[in-house]
Structure 1
């Protein structure tokens, strides 16, 4: 049965993008359990193997139905802004109303055979306030073990995706945007349809649609949240096939002679739009050093800056792309 988001006139003006470190933590936990999601993330799985072995995620897995179904909304509240921290998101989870959380947990547990009757399931329903605290603690442990060490790389991928699709939206509207997000999406009239086994029909009622790229949700696209939560669509970010590849080697010698080795390395590292902090992490340089090189390269007409939330992303101009091409460098 299809999943429908129905847009009104106000909704067409209220679509926005955001990044959620808490959502990435949730989906990273899901990847550990679902082999079909792991093909793009094998290098990451090797890196976090020891840390993951120290986590007991069985309670969280009870709330992640394998065959589709309800995931507790209070555990993954939609971000309130374009760029939020994990700590800000976790504070909202901890503030969940226990009685509302109990019903949310029950709806999720019945989607997994045996989960509702299990000891863990019964304990959560008997004391939802304690369940909220313990589940939030588990997410915090998973964030630090699985995602936080890799967050600069993940965030750079997600920011680059948002920049790409924001331009697509500006150039062709919602039809062009949804056409390129995922093959299961169809835009017709004022309705976005997701091909799914379960039926859901939601009118956006002026709230608009929150769009979130994710590194770990592949191969799925997820539409969700019941009222009063913000309607949200989570889709696989572009470029995940190269997410865990080693950084490119040093800049070509000819380009290094022209620009200087450090500035040439910065330019070559911008295969996707990135922030000063991301580049500093990628190149193992001080942010102040990278910032100085970026200003010089921008002044020379080799970079274009664009603002995303509180960050500025830099991307190469056509001239810079030509200079960094192996055939011309």
Structure 2
């Protein structure tokens, strides 16, 4: 039976961790695959209808057809679409795609071509044509804005809930308790994690540890990269309860955005939801770390945020004034 087997050493157990939130490129790649029906996706029927309609209206044309050709919903899809840098935020991930070495682009495209016919334009991707890679990543950003961003609140709520459960398992049973909590998606035993729904593959961590990445749009079972030299990750599906089904968030007047600007309001709300580091704020809001630091600085000087240094990282939390401002903003609805 086909199965993914991940082999751990004692060093790997010490370096295994849980992602701090969703990976925007994994969510995008898996969401695009879900535009075509697949097993286990009944909860996404309404989302698929809406996403298909909004993409049709956007009329992204040949670039979207190229992206979907590179990202089939069955079988292999290229590793270069999911660089580890995306864990820092969407723009970091897109920049990493544009900087992918030509030999890796060529290798991934050839691997994909073994299983399906590809359009002629894929050749320019394999050759690392800068214009084509920019067009590809611009299309990925547009798709993210259209079919992922409107559902951000539900996605983050569901992933935060899963992460809390994994952290509890880690606190109660160590890394072995954490890995054991993945059952029935995966089975942990004697230094080996087995994923029965995966293609036949062996992954030796060799002291690098494993990053567990919970995913909202993953439905087929845990996934990993084909290239064993890449940073080891395991993307796994989370539970989607009725309160976080993929429903588009309705736009409504927001006096806070009018007062301090949409991005700064999003930073303030992100700090309220989950106080954290500048890098975590950047990921949650979808901006660069430099921009997150700048906005947090303005909020701090305005008395809305308190920041303190934790090692070499800066952490942020709301002041009573910041909390009062948010509570007044919500009550205005």
TM-score bracket relative to the smaller structure: 0.5 to 0.7
Indicate conservation of the 8 Å contact 1:27/1:216, yes or no.
Answer: yes
| Structure 2 residue aligned with 1:254 | none
Counterpart check, 1:106 vs 2:110 = yes
RMSD: 3.5
With the length of structure 1 as denominator, give the TM-score of the two structures: 0.68
Question: Of the candidates 68, 75, 81, which is equivalent to residue 75 of structure 1?
Answer: 81
Change (3 A) 1:153 1:224: same
Counterpart Cα distance in 1 of 2:246 and 2:103: 45
Question: In structure 1, the residue corresponding to 2:217 is in which secondary structure?
Answer: coil
User: How has the CA–CA distance of structure 1 residues 241 and 226 changed in structure 2, closer, same or farther, with 3 Å as cutoff?
Assistant: farther
Taking structure 1 as reference, are residues 32 and 231 closer, same or farther at Cα in structure 2, changes over 3 Å only?
Answer: same
The 8 Å contact of residues 3 and 201 in structure 1, kept in 2 or not, is answered as: yes
TM-score, normalization by structure 2 = 0.67
Q: 1:64 to 1:34 in 2, by over 3 A?
A: farther
Q: Is 1:125 paired with 2:126?
A: yes
1:1-329 superposed matches below 5 A:
1-18=2-19, 19-53=22-56, 54=58, 55-56=60-61, 57-69=64-76, 71-79=77-85, 84-111=88-115, 113-115=116-118, 118-126=119-127, 128-196=129-197, 198-244=199-245, 276-277=272-273
Figure out how many residues of one structure are paired with residues of the other and give that number: 259
Larger Cα-atom Rg: 1
Aligned pair in 2 of structure 1 residues 97, 127: CA closer, same or farther (>3 Å)? closer
Give the Cα separation in 1 of the matches to 2:131 and 2:246.
Answer: 41
Q: 1:66 to 1:49 in 2, by over 3 A?
A: closer
Given that 2:85 and 2:92 are in contact with CA atoms closer than 8 Å, whether structure 1 keeps it comes out as no
Deviation at 1:245, TM superposition (A): 7.2
> For residues 28 and 232 of structure 1, what CA distance do their matches in structure 2 show?
19
Distance 1:197 1:209, change over 3 A: closer
Q: Any idea what the Cα deviations from partners look like across 1:168-194, whole Å, max 9, x if unmatched?
A: 122123443333325241111101111
Contact 1:101 1:132 in 2 (8 A): no
Counterpart CA distance in 1 for 2:149 and 2:247 is 18
Q: Measured at CA, do residues 182 and 52 of structure 1 come closer, stay the same or move farther in structure 2, by a change above 3 Å?
A: farther
Task: Give unpaired runs (5+ residues) of structure 1.
Answer: 248-273, 279-287, 289-308, 314-329
Structure 2: segments with no counterpart, 5+ residues: 249-269, 275-298, 300-313, 319-333
Query: 1:202-246 CA deviation, whole Å, 9 max, x = no partner?
Result: 210111001111110113211224243111101112235542277
Q: Do 1:156 and 1:275's aligned partners in 2 also have CA atoms closer than 8 Å?
A: no
- 8 A Cα contact 1:40 1:241, kept in partner: no
Question: Using the alignment, how far apart are the partners of 2:239 and 2:132 within structure 1?
Answer: 35
